[in-house]
Amino acid sequence: MKLSIIGVPLAFVICKLLEDVVPLFIDFGAVGVARVVQARVRQHLKLSPRAFATLDARTATSAELARYLRLDGCVCVENVFDDATREQVLAELTPHFETETRGIGGDEFGGGGANQTGRVGSIVLKSETSHKLALDRLVLGAVEDVLLPHTKKIGFKVMETIRMLPGGHGRQALHQEEGQWPIAKDWPVGSDYTVDVMFALSDFTAANGATHVIPGSNLWSGRGGKVDDSMPTIRAEMKKGSVFMFTGSLVHAGGSNHADDPRIGLVFGYQVGFLRPEANHVLSVQPDKAKDLPAPVQELLGYPLRYTPVSTPSKYKPGPGALAYRAAGAYAYNGAPDGHPSRLVPYAEFEEIHHSF
Ligand SMILES: O=C(O)CCC(=O)C(=O)O
């Protein structure tokens, strides 16, 4: 009897740990097992997090970045984009900062309260130069490496600027991006269904609000639950032109700006195609505008029949008429030509109706 009182919960704990450890053992051997054990010791003893890796885009490979994403939940990459690109993106977006959304939800989380954060969405429509960032081969290759094992299509999760202005004194609550979907708690440890990429349009410093992060928290137990907001963090400081990539399981929080300079980040988040995206991109970038965007951007917005990895351009071959088909689907959504608003018009039929599309 006594044996079963101790034995049953112990067996449960061991099975759960094995379930979490085996996939990492298969992919990374003893390193994978050690990382899960370390992460959980740090979690339960509330120890300071391990440091994250910083790589140089001129020498790093997508596979290397993906390895860090899976083991640490994050990685910083320097020299991803040059000053000319950064200035061009800023020049295209600056007029939109005047009407940016402040304080979604009115609290520190959304940038209201004392947090002083503004956001601008529909980025691919507002900045042509941003397409280069969204489709960066090194970065997107790593995103694909993490996400494509789980899905045939990936898409944008979110695309927005996060401009943190001086004068803030409230930090966001610690959270995991994947916590937005209820599947988080059942998703295997060491793999992810979202990856966010913060492109630094300005320097990110601890003083101006660099993101609070807990490398290794992607391997914690209790994924998708409420995160203890008192856990120790480190800051994702980086130079302009760098990116900070993090998986949906990484515990993090936007900081607050008590310096004199604004912290300006551009986030492209990516997710598996079968989940409803965090933002509704086919509403914010409607078909009449989407049709003029590059095909891979259309695909990431959610117009695709399928997704072809864009990190390998030689393999990127959208079929003839793919754009028209995508537009057909979207057109039907807004009101089909035959008056059935919710019917998806097959390609052939659509071509017959709209030869000149
Ligand atoms: O701005 C940041 O550093 C992080 C923002 C964030 O995590 C969020 O808004 O969900």
Full DSSP string of 221-266: SSTTS---TTS--EE--B-TT-EEEEETTS-EE-----SSS-EEEE
| Gyration radius (Cα) of the chain, Å | 22
> Where are the domains positioned within the chain?
2-43, 51-279, 282-357
254 Cα–ligand 1 center, Å: 4
* Cβ of residue 251 lying under 6 Å from some atom of ligand 1: no
The dihedral formed by the CA atoms of 283, 284, 287 and 290, expressed in degrees to the nearest 10:
-150
Where is average pLDDT lowest: 91-100, 106-115, 149-158, 201-210? 106-115
For the Cβ of 120 lying below 6 angstroms from any atom of ligand 1, the answer is: no
- Contacting residues for 15 by C-beta, under 8 A, at least 6 apart: none
Each residue's pLDDT tens digit, 30-41 = 999 999 999 999
pLDDT at 11: 81
Residue keyed to tokens 């537009």:
327
* Whole-number pLDDT of residue 113: 64
Scanning the structure block, which residue is given the tokens 């202005």?
165
Residue 211 CB–ligand 1 contact under 6 Å: yes
- According to DSSP, the residues that pair with 235 across neighbouring strands are 212
Give CA separation, 276 vs 155, 156, 180, 198, 281, in Å: 10, 10, 10, 21, 10
* Closest Cα to atom 1 of ligand 1: 254
pLDDT of residue 307: 62
Rounded to an integer, what distance in angstroms lies between the CA atom of residue 284 and that of residue 176? 24
Q: What distance in Å separates the CA atoms of residue 327 and residue 329, rounded to the nearest whole number?
A: 5
Q: What are phi and psi of 317, to 5 degrees?
A: -130, 85
Distance, in Å, from the CA atom of 157 to the CA atom of 197, rounded to the nearest integer, reads 11
CB-based contacts of 296: which residues, under 8 Å, 6+ apart?
A: 135, 308, 310, 316
Note the pTM of the prediction, 2 decimals.
Answer: 0.85
- Tell which CATH architecture fits domain 51-279: Sandwich (2.60)
The highest-confidence range among 108-112, 227-231, 310-314, by mean pLDDT, is 227-231
* Structural tokens at position 335: 């009101």
What per-residue confidence (pLDDT) applies to 3? Answer: 61
CB-based contact 59:212 (threshold 8 Å)? no
Exposed, middle or buried by CB within 10 Å (0-12, 13-18, 19+), for 106? exposed
How far, in Å, from the CA of 283 to the mean position of ligand 1? 23
The tokens 């051997």 sit on which residue?
Answer: 29
Cα separation, 129 vs 181, whole angstroms:
31
Out of 252, 263, 268, mutate this one to test ligand 1's pocket (max ligand atoms within 8 Å of CB): namely 252
C-alpha closest to that of 154 among 310, 314, 321? 310
Regarding the beta carbon of 252 and ligand 1, being less than 6 Å apart is answered yes
φ, ψ for residue 342, nearest 5 deg? -100, 10
CB 124 within 8 A of CB 134: yes
> From the CA of 185, how far away is ligand 1's center (Å)?
21
- 307 CA → ligand 1 middle, Å: 27
Residue 254 CB–ligand 1 contact under 6 Å: yes
Rounded to whole angstroms, how far apart are CA atoms 83 and 85?
5
pLDDT above 50: residue 220: yes
140 lines ligand 1 (CB under 6 A): no
∠ CA(239), CA(159), CA(216), 5° rounding?
A: 60
The pLDDT of residue 338 is: 39
Q: What is the pLDDT of residue 147?
A: 93
